[in-house]
């Protein structure tokens, strides 16, 4: 087997373990907050929104820095930093004395984490261009299958062991993933030569390639996908009617969504090297919008199970499609920087999405969050077509200049 194939197998396992670690505890943050003395449901929504938005906000600030360091020192060190950093900080959440400390730790997690983005960058930089769609699709399936398994058992573990112990277990799994990367992944990293003369920021931006308009799509997609991040557990609790047992239902429903996400990753690994990303993205956006509309109309937890599956079958395709699109049109010596910027863009969306969702849930109603998210997905289609036109124009100008 070639080195990129061995790395892909090991990274699939490590990303699976990391996703299990995140999924064991973080989706149940609104329930953990209620055990820290916050009992008013509106206050829970506020703190849950802060917890959901704080980590991606700090990640957005740090992601470009980590991306530049990846191009300078290698992608494997960045993956080790993200995995071990997340393991230590999430494990520390078990000892949170109050909700403020918990939220501060979430913010710290965003500063030092970014496991998925670091793994994507490493795979994109060490995989032949003609196999990148396959590799990134496979990696996507590991993320979502780990998420599915973690969500499925996380609800039961939270009920049996308590929320604090699930944080400790999450931290241990992430530390294990870090050890697998440390001893299993091989990277042949060659640092790109530094320019002899000082270049301007405009020249640095132009050197990233014609794919920079895609960063806007990454932000837009992340807003729509994460808008229900802090609200879905509360919506499940509202339909369930009480806190007891809500974590189990939350795990089952999110687990059903992760099954759809795994299938999306597996299907994506087959079709992404055969069809243009813009064509796939249109179908994904339309299907995700329909799933959100139906979720907002659901009157029973039993209906949420198939609806979440159907929604994630489409929505999980956004990341691998956009990552493949970015990777194929970005010079290899700038992929760390572009994926760092993509993580920043994704984190900005992950900050705005829960914040907007929390405001909508407080001011209007919980169900309105899902309908606004559907609108964002539908608007993604014309925005994507416009970005494609801009990239085509930039590419033609670059070829003419050469």
Summarize pLDDT for 61-113 with one digit per residue, the tens.
Answer: 887 788 778 778 888 888 899 899 989 999 999 999 999 999 999 889 888 87
Q: What is the per-residue pLDDT for 203? A: 56
pLDDT tens digits, 160-207 = 888 889 899 999 999 999 999 999 888 877 665 655 555 555 656 565
300 burial class (0-12, 13-18, 19+ CB within 10 angstroms)?
Answer: exposed
Q: What is the per-residue pLDDT for 286? A: 93
Determine the angle formed by the axes of helices 41-73 and 75-92, rounding to 10 degrees: 150
Which of 99-108, 124-133, 240-249, 317-326: highest mean pLDDT? 99-108
245 Cα distance to chain centroid: 27
Q: How many CB atoms lie within 10 A of CB 381?
A: 17
Work out the pLDDT band at 339, boundaries 50, 70, 90: confident
* Dist CA 186 CA 7 (whole Å): 7
197 burial class (0-12, 13-18, 19+ CB within 10 angstroms)?
Answer: exposed
User: Cα separations (Å) of 291 from 265, 303, 359, 375, 381?
Assistant: 18, 12, 22, 11, 16
Q: What is the per-residue pLDDT for 52? A: 74
220, two tokens: 């837009």
209: left (phi over 0), alpha (psi -120 to 50) or beta: left
194 burial class (0-12, 13-18, 19+ CB within 10 angstroms)?
Answer: exposed
- Looking at per-residue pLDDT, the higher value among 311 and 340 belongs to 311
pLDDT tens digits, 358-378 = 889 888 888 999 999 999 999
Which domains are delineated in the chain?
3-186+210-401 (1.20.1250.20)
Query: What's the whole-number average pLDDT of the chain?
Result: 81
* Dist CA 110 CA 94 (whole Å): 17
Lowest mean pLDDT among 128-132, 239-243, 259-263, 333-337: 333-337
Q: What is the per-residue pLDDT for 88? A: 94
* Dist CA 62 CA 39 (whole Å): 33
164, two tokens: 């604090």
Q: What is the per-residue pLDDT for 200? A: 58
User: What stretch of H or E contains 212?
Assistant: none
* CA end-to-end distance (rounded Å), the chain: 38
Q: What is the per-residue pLDDT for 216? A: 87
109, two tokens: 């997690």
Contact 258, 383 (CB under 8 A): no
pLDDT tens digits, 143-154 = 777 877 787 777
361, two tokens: 């849930």
Q: What is the per-residue pLDDT for 300? A: 84
- In the chain, the percentage of residues whose pLDDT exceeds 90 is 17
Contact 334, 208 (CB under 8 A): yes
User: Cα separations (Å) of 58 from 113, 114, 223?
Assistant: 10, 11, 16
């Amino acid at each position: 087997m070639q080195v990129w194939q061995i790395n892909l197998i090991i990274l699939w396992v490590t990303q699976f373990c990391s996703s299990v670690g995140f999924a064991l505890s973080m989706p149940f943050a609104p329930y953990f907050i209620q055990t820290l003395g916050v009992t008013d449901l509106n206050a829970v929504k506020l703190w849950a929104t802060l917890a959901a938005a704080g980590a991606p906000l700090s990640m957005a600030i740090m992601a470009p820095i980590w991306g530049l360091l990846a191009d300078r020192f290698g992608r494997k060190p960045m993956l080790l930093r993200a995995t071990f950093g997340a393991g230590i900080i999430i494990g520390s959440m078990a000892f949170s004395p109050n909700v403020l400390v918990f939220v501060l730790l979430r913010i710290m997690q965003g500063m030092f984490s970014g496991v998925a983005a670091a793994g994507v960058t490493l795979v994109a930089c060490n995989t032949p261009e003609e196999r990148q769609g396959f590799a990134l699709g496979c990696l996507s399936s590991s993320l979502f299958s780990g998420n599915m398994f973690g969500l499925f058992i996380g609800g039961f573990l939270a009920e049996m062991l308590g929320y604090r112990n699930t944080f400790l277990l999450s931290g241990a799994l992430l530390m294990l993933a870090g050890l697998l990367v440390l001893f299993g992944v091989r990277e042949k990293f060659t640092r790109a030569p530094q320019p002899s003369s000082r270049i301007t920021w405009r020249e640095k931006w132009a050197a990233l390639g014609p794919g920079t308009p895609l960063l806007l799509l990454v932000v837009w997609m992340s807003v729509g996908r994460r808008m229900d991040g802090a609200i879905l557990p509360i919506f499940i609790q509202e339909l369930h009617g009480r806190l007891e047992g809500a974590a189990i239902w939350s795990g089952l429903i999110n687990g059903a969504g992760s099954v759809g996400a795994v299938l999306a990753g597996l299907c994506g690994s087959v079709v992404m090297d055969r069809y243009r990303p813009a064509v796939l993205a249109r179908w994904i956006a339309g299907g995700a919008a329909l799933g959100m509309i139906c979720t907002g109309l659901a009157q029973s937890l039993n209906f949420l199970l198939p609806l979440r599956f159907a929604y994630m079958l489409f929505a999980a395709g956004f990341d691998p499609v956009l990552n493949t699109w970015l990777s194929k049109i970005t010079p290899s010596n700038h992929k760390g920087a572009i994926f760092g910027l993509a993580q920043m863009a994704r984190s900005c969306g992950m900050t705005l999405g829960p914040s907007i969702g929390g405001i909508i849930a407080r001011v209007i109603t919980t169900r309105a969050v899902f309908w606004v998210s559907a609108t964002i997905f539908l608007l993604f289609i014309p925005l994507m077509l416009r970005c494609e036109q801009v990239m085509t124009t930039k590419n033609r100008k670059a070829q003419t200049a050469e």
